[in-house]
Structure 1
Amino acid sequence: MKAIVIGGGIGGLTAGVALDRKGWDVTVLERTPKLEPVGSGLAIAVNALRALDTVGLGDPVRARARMQGQIGIRRPDGRWLTHTSGSAAEERYGDRTAVVLLRAQLVDLLAEALGPDRLRLGTTVTGVDAATGTVRTDAGEFTGDLVVAADGIHSPTRRALFPGHPGPVYSGVTAWRGLAPMPAAPPRNSETWGRGLVFGAHPLDEKTVYFYATDVAPAGGAAGDERAELVRRFGGWHEPIPELLRTADPAHVLRNDLYYLREPLPAMHAGRVALVGDAAHAMTPHLGQGACQSIEDAVVLAHLAGGDLAAYTEARLSRTAGIVRKAMSICRTTKLRNPLAVALRDLGMSLATRVTPDLMLRQMDGVLRWRPPAPAGSDRVRDGRA
Structure 2
Amino acid sequence: MAQAVVIGAGIGGLTAAAALERDGWAVTVFEQAPSIQPVGSGLAVAPNALRALDTIGVGDEVRKLSAVQGEAGIRRPDGRWLSRTSAEEAWARYGDPTVILLRSALVDLLAVRLSSGALRVNTRVESVDPEGGRVTTNDGDIAADLIVAADGIWSSTREALFPGHPGPVYAGVTSWRLVAPASETRGPVPAGETWGRGLVFGVMPLAHDQVYCYATAAAPAGEQAADEKAELTWLFGDWHHPIPALLAATGPDAVLRHDLYSMDAPLPAFHRGKVALLGDAAHAMTPHLGQGACQAIEDAVVLAHHAGRAGLAAYTADRLERTTRIARRSRAIGRLTRWRNPLAVPARDVMLLLAGRLGPNVAFRQFDDVFDWRPPA
Counterpart of 1:77 in structure 2: which amino acid? D
Q: 212-221 or 360-369, which moves further after superposition? A: 360-369
- Alignment CA distance shift 1:173-1:111 (3 Å): same
- What does residue 380 of structure 1 align with? none
Q: 2:348 aligns with which of 334, 338, 345?
A: 345
- What does residue 12 of structure 2 align with? 11
Counterpart of 1:81 in structure 2: which amino acid? L
Alpha-carbon distance in structure 2 between the residues aligned to 1:117 and 1:308: 27
Counterpart of 1:305 in structure 2: which amino acid? A
Alpha-carbon distance in structure 2 between the residues aligned to 1:313 and 1:202: 33
SS of the counterpart of 1:114?
coil
- What does residue 335 of structure 1 align with? 338
Sequence identity percentage? 61
**Residue 34 of structure 1: CA displacement?**
0.8
2:21 counterpart of 1:20: yes
Report 1:1-386 matches (<5 A).
1-96=2-97, 98-182=98-182, 183-306=185-308, 307-374=310-377
- Alignment CA distance shift 1:295-1:357 (3 Å): closer
SS of the counterpart of 1:113?
coil
SS of the counterpart of 2:269?
coil
Whether contact under 8 Å (1:5, 1:27) holds in the other structure is: yes
- Alignment CA distance shift 1:35-1:357 (3 Å): closer
Q: 193-202 or 302-311, which moves further after superposition? A: 302-311
SS of the counterpart of 1:228?
helix
Whether contact under 8 Å (2:89, 2:360) holds in the other structure is: no
Whether contact under 8 Å (1:179, 1:249) holds in the other structure is: no
Alpha-carbon distance in structure 2 between the residues aligned to 1:167 and 1:143: 28
Whether contact under 8 Å (1:153, 1:278) holds in the other structure is: yes
Alpha-carbon distance in structure 2 between the residues aligned to 1:334 and 1:56: 37
Q: Which runs of 5+ in 1 are unaligned?
A: 375-386
Alpha-carbon distance in structure 2 between the residues aligned to 1:26 and 1:344: 53
Alpha-carbon distance in structure 1 between the residues aligned to 2:339 and 2:361: 25
Deviations 1:356-384 (A, max 9, x none): 4422211111100000000xxxxxxxxxx
SS of the counterpart of 2:212?
strand
Deviations 1:73-118 (A, max 9, x none): 000000000011111111011122x110000000011001113411
Alpha-carbon distance in structure 1 between the residues aligned to 2:311 and 2:117: 28
Alpha-carbon distance in structure 2 between the residues aligned to 1:43 and 1:163: 33
Whether contact under 8 Å (1:186, 1:203) holds in the other structure is: no
TM value normalised by structure 1: 0.95
Counterpart of 1:9 in structure 2: which amino acid? G
SS of the counterpart of 1:358?
helix
Alpha-carbon distance in structure 2 between the residues aligned to 1:94 and 1:58: 13
Alpha-carbon distance in structure 2 between the residues aligned to 1:8 and 1:64: 21
